[in-house]
Amino acid sequence: MKQVNLKEFNIEEVRFTFWTSLTDDLLERIQGVVAPDKDGDYVFMESYKIGNVGHFVIAVVSKLKGEGMYRIGVVCEKGGRRLRKGTASVSKLLEIMSSIKEEIRAMCVLSLSFGRRKKYKTIISLPIKITDMPKTLYDEIRGVHFAKREGKGLKYDVIVDVERDGTLIGLINFIKLINIRESVLEDIIQEGIEISDGFILREKQ
């Protein structure tokens, strides 16, 4: 798995989920690496550091009840962990599943955080102070939820929220056709940042 630097893009967490069938060969290769846990799930983990920032990655392969389909969820977040020796790695899972050559539809999420000292602007200036409507139940709008439709579905949605201390939180949800390969996290981050840059404008330092 290609290691990604979450701090570089102000990312707290990136995750993606997809559903696919697994051939007997793929399932045997997964079972050859890790045994199922008490829930019947196959869990893969790894931890790494870039600079002084730890990263933790976990992937879970779950069989859907009554179907021949599996749900695969992968999460990469800031904060390293000490793993037991011999823990099955996410890199190994991606290596096994890279034999799936067709693109797979995945649900992707990026969680961003910009501290008060980070230089940024939002497409709509936040918070919005309400000064001429004294009888309303609120006097500030601290967050906005944007959505982009594509046909009958949703292409992406973006939530931007400013906390009391001035920290900006961004949540980017989108659908992407992915190739299962070692750089899949990097591919997802690249598209997620392209979307977020339309709503959170990063100023040059």
For the cut 60, the answer to whether the pLDDT of residue 205 exceeds it is: no
Give yes or no for residue 203 having a pLDDT over 70.
no
pLDDT over 90 (residue 179)? yes
Lowest mean pLDDT among 23-37, 101-115, 124-138, 190-204: 124-138
**How high is the pLDDT of residue 128?**
87
- For residue 143, the Cα-to-chain-centroid distance in whole angstroms is 20
Q: What does the alpha-carbon distance between residue 71 and residue 91 come to, in Å, rounded to a whole number?
A: 17
Distance (Å, whole) CA 107 – CA 96: 21
Q: pLDDT tens across 101-137, in order?
A: 999 999 999 999 998 767 788 898 888 888 777 777 8
Query: What percent of the chain is predicted at pLDDT more than 90?
Result: 74
| pLDDT score for 129 | 86
Per-residue DSSP letter, 204: P
DSSP, residue by residue, 86-119:
TPPPHHHHHHHHTT--S-EEEEEEEEEEE-TTS-
Domain ranges of the chain: 7-202
Helix (H, G, I), strand (E, B) or coil at 127: coil
Q: What is the mean pLDDT of the chain?
A: 92
- Per the CB < 8 A criterion, the answer to whether 112 and 95 are in contact is no
Tell me the per-residue pLDDT of 77-90, one tens digit each, with 9 for 90 and over.
998 788 988 899 99
Residue 198, both tokens: 């339309």
pLDDT tens digits, 137-163: 888 889 999 999 999 889 999 999 999
What is the three-class DSSP state of 194?
helix
pTM attached to this predicted model: 0.91
Residue 204, pLDDT > 90, answer no
CA–CA distance, 43 with 62 (Å, rounded to integer):
9
The stretch 93-104 carries a mean pLDDT of 95
How does strand 53-63 pair with strand 42-50?
antiparallel
Structure tokens at 112: 């961003």
